Amino acid sequence: MHVTFRQLKVFQAVARRGSFTAAAGELHLTQPAVSMQIRQLETNIGLSLFEHLGKKIYLTEAGEELYDYSRRIAQLVDEAGEVLEQLKGAQRGQLAISVASTANHFATRLLAGFTVRYPGVSFSLDVTNRETLLQQLKHNERDLVIMGKPPPNEELLAQPFLDNPLVVIAPPEHPLTHHRRIPLKRLAQESFVVREPGSGTRGAAERFFARFELQFTPGMEMSSNEAIKHAVEAGLGLAVVSAHTLEVELAARRLRILDVKGFPIKRHWYVVQRADKRLSPVAQAFRSFVLEEAQGYVVPLDALTPPPAVGPRGATGTEGP
């Protein structure tokens, strides 16, 4: 079928107004020009679109069908225009992002993926702990933040986008690697290498042990996941870390995930902004990218290890999204 978009627009105006003259007025054309467009359209499709009864015109069955399609086509063209305009806005610009240290493992890959799609965008990326991220949001210092669940606060808009399972790690030669469904109580006898106060991971692990009235014994304290993994590898203790930080060490068999009852602790990643912040087109594009695509940038826990055992009644590690 050979039909031009212009013919469809003229046809739509005539059908909507029920008059060639009114359509001509709307489109700033002469009435004969409108009649000619409609005649050409009818010739092209081989069907009459209007019937003339007295002074009035009515759509034929073919006209009704084409009117329905032409409205949908026009809507789609408008929609495409809007999307492309937004993209134009997101083609260039600067983005100030902060991510929790633990999220950095996938966040940098996510930024790389975003940059391929939007090469004109430049980033400033800050990698820091949860407490500092909350301060940055409070002082409106960043466009968007990727972190664990923020505390309830009307000034923040937080959207979960990805699971963040926390697991217990040990060096491969540790005797507990041969045990299944290790009770939490047994684990509490071990010494742990922990993150600094203010770390979301540390807070979640402490709350988890406290829920079962167990004390978890912090041994050494370190301010990065990398340092913690090295310390555990070196036999300085066990640790609770996000599975998202372990891809390399598990593949190289430098660390093992212990099968502990109630683990993994289920945390979630959120993309967070101040509720009163008007996001730039670039920031909006990045937020949508995170919400829609982040899943593809992490290796799921069950692909890293055999599925963990289910915890006992009342001992699920869920923190809730």
Q: In this structure, are strands 121-128 and 265-274 parallel, antiparallel, or unpaired?
A: unpaired
Which C-beta is closer to ligand PGA: that of 20 or that of 229?
229
Which C-beta is closer to ligand PGA: that of 162 or that of 258?
162
Which C-beta is closer to ligand PGA: that of 15 or that of 156?
156
The minimum distance between CB 127 and ligand PGA, in angstroms, equals: 9
Which of these ranges, 30-38, 99-107, 174-182, 253-261, lies near ligand PGA under the rule CB under 6 A?
99-107
- Determine, following the binding rule CB under 6 A, whether residue 244 of this chain makes contact with ligand PGA: no
Three-state SS at 252 = coil
Which of these ranges, 23-31, 193-201, 215-223, 284-292, lies near ligand PGA under the rule CB under 6 A?
193-201
Which of these ranges, 62-70, 100-108, 182-190, 251-259, lies near ligand PGA under the rule CB under 6 A?
100-108
Which of these ranges, 110-118, 200-208, 249-257, 282-290, lies near ligand PGA under the rule CB under 6 A?
200-208
AA identity, residue 79:
E
* Helix residue ranges, H only, 46-118: 61-90, 104-117
Is the preceding omega at residue 264 within 30 degrees of 0, hence cis?
Answer: yes
Scan for tokens 């010494």, then name that residue.
191
Distance CA 14, CA 59 (A): 10
- Determine, following the binding rule CB under 6 A, whether residue 245 of this chain makes contact with ligand PGA: no
Beta strand spans in 136-187 (E): 144-147, 156-170
Q: How many CB atoms lie within 10 A of CB 124?
A: 11
How big is the site for ligand PGA, counted in residues (CB under 6 A)?
14
- Determine, following the binding rule CB under 6 A, whether residue 237 of this chain makes contact with ligand PGA: no
Site string for ligand PGA, 249-268 (x = CB under 6 A): ------------------x-
Q: In this structure, are strands 217-222 and 191-195 parallel, antiparallel, or unpaired?
A: parallel
Task: Tell which residue, 242, 163, 250, 148, has the closest CA to residue 198.
Answer: 148
Write out the two tokens for 77: 């063209």
Using CB under 6 A, list all residues that contact ligand PGA. Answer: 100-102, 129-130, 147-148, 164, 195, 199-201, 204, 267
